[in-house]
Amino acid sequence: MKSQLPAKSVSKLMKQASSVSALLKHLSHPQRLLILCALADGEKAVGEIEEVCGASQSAVSQFLKRMRDDGLVDFRRDGQFVLYEIADSRLIDLIKSLYRIYCD
């Protein structure tokens, strides 16, 4: 079977394969995927994410810390609240594409 991608694209993919694989690993966990889906609409506090995901505050916080450490989400403080958002607009596009494919 002939490849559908031009050689230049395959070369780019090979260079990015490790980071893309790491990203997909994050998406492979249902709770992390739900958290990212919740954040695809914009920044949210932990309590708002809890409501969407149905997970405990401690579990959501642990997932967010890991994703923050791995550069998937950013945060900012607003008074007593910590607001989280997706760090890279490409990830938002990917989450929205997955939604269109699997949830529409």
C-alpha span between 7 and 12 (Å, rounded): 9
What integer best gives the mean pLDDT of the chain? 91
Q: What is the DSSP letter of 70?
A: T
Q: Is residue 20 part of a domain?
A: no
73-78 and 81-86 strand pairing: antiparallel
Look up the domain containing 35 and give its range: 30-102
**Is residue 45 a contact partner of residue 31, using CB atoms and an 8 Å limit?**
no
Q: Is residue 62 part of a domain?
A: yes
pLDDT at residue 9, rounded to an integer: 76
Model confidence at 2: pLDDT above 80: no
Structure confidence by residue, pLDDT tens digits, 35-52: 999 999 999 999 999 999
Q: Is residue 53 part of a domain?
A: yes
Model confidence at 54: pLDDT above 70: yes
Q: Is residue 46 part of a domain?
A: yes
C-alpha span between 97 and 38 (Å, rounded): 14
Which CATH number belongs to the domain containing residue 69 in this structure? 1.10.10.10
